[in-house]
Amino acid sequence: MKKLNFSLATAFILFYTLFLLIASEIMVLIEPKNYESFFDGLWWAIVTATTVGYGDMVPHSEAGKLLAVFIIIGGVVAVAAFTALMTTQLIERKIFSKKGYEMLDSLENHLVICGYKSPRIEVLKSFKKHYKENIVIIYPDLTPELKNLLEEHNLKFVQGEYNDEATLKTAKVEKADKVMILNMHQEYADAKVLETVIVIRSLNHKVYIIAEINDPKYENYLTKSKCNEIIMSEEYNRFLLSKSISEPGMSKVVRNLLRTQNFHIVTEHPYVNKTYKEAFEESIAKGEILLGVIQNYITEEKLKKIVLQKIRFGADAQKYKKLLSEIKNNEVELDVIINPKDGMVIQEFSAIISMERNNG
């Protein structure tokens, strides 16, 4: 069950309610002829606080009028605080409703984002292009900015720490297609990312895990924990800083490359067993530029299907079995080769990095 937050608005409303009760009794003491009982004082205090002002009871003394001023000012603030509190509760109730949990229960092949950073809209759109609304964000606090994002883009939310197994299970990580773990730059943040990878891998051995870290020493641990992709943000920052000194303008080049939507990793292509020069010339003729090759671009699941198919049709599956064993033992890494030599032959299970040419 979700824990309710004791907010500043809640505290003020409670304090103001106590103040009204005390003010009611004070009015009976100040003006006993006008306010004969505590109920008379309470009636007047509520009418004054809500600025209804029936006029059936009014203070005549200076002390009573001064007290009324404090009640009116506090009432305006209290109404605003109450409105904000109710709005927050209604939004949270919608997000944490039973229906919301049922939607999480039905999720599969979805994207889980562990942590929250203000996303670029084009990045979020690219996520939604692949997963539509099947995106779950895990974060300890439901901040106003995060609430707006969830409401606007109809995303799912699980409140909690992303290295907690129960939280990950609520996000249905065992049925997820991909998990992205963001480094929140807190104390021991990299260790928390590593712990999360280990927990996720114990729940789902097939899911593709992308992890962000700061300290390169964790890269080896993450690789051994079968993290599929490791992003070292600090390493990129250091690269850009150094290149900006030796080659001014490099940061703009990299930024524009990251922002463009024209380059892709292509797995299905006609260049297997061709040289890089042949593939490059063919890609130019198609209005594309071949930037490089990624070797061993194959998942364990896809390779299993190939092995079974080879065995079924009596073909030699020995080399595929060997590769499958290496992948299972985490002995195979993606080998990214940018602008290789002309004579390099593009092997089976190699993807190409291609950029569409701008003919505008």
Answer yes or no: is 256 within a domain.
Answer: no
Residue 40 pLDDT > 80: yes
Whole-prediction pTM: 0.62
Tens-digit pLDDT profile for residues 55-100: 888 888 889 889 989 988 888 888 887 777 777 666 655 555 544 4
Tens-digit pLDDT profile for residues 240-287: 888 888 899 888 888 787 777 688 899 999 999 999 999 999 999 998
What per-residue confidence (pLDDT) applies to 356? 85
For every residue of 249-303, DSSP letters joined together read THHHHHHHHHH-S-EEEESS-S-TTSBHHHHHHHHHHTTEEEEEEEET---HHHH
Tens-digit pLDDT profile for residues 337-347: 999 999 999 99
Tokens of 67: 């007290």
Answer yes or no: is 345 within a domain.
Answer: yes
Three-state DSSP at 14 gives helix
Task: For residue 81, give its domain range.
Answer: 8-95
Q: How far is residue 87's CA from residue 96's CA, in Å, rounded to a whole number?
A: 14
- Do 106 and 229 sit in the same domain of this protein? yes
**Residue 212: which CATH number?**
3.40.50.720
- Do 200 and 102 sit in the same domain of this protein? yes
Answer yes or no: is 283 within a domain.
Answer: yes
Q: Where are the beta strands (DSSP E) in the chain?
A: 111-114, 135-139, 156-159, 178-181, 208-213, 229-232, 263-266, 288-295, 335-338, 351-356
211: which strand partners? 181, 230
Q: What letter would DSSP give residue 205? A: S
- Do 202 and 316 sit in the same domain of this protein? no
Answer with the one of 62, 95, 128 that is the final residue of a domain. 95
Answer yes or no: is 268 within a domain.
Answer: yes
The contacts found for 133-138 with CB under 8 angstroms, 24 or more apart, are 134/107, 134/109, 134/110, 135/110, 135/111, 136/104, 136/107, 136/110, 136/111, 136/112, 136/171, 136/172, 136/176, 137/113, 138/112, 138/113, 138/114, 138/162, 138/167, 138/168, 138/171
Q: How many domains does the chain have?
A: 3
Tokens of 94: 């919608």
- Do 120 and 204 sit in the same domain of this protein? yes
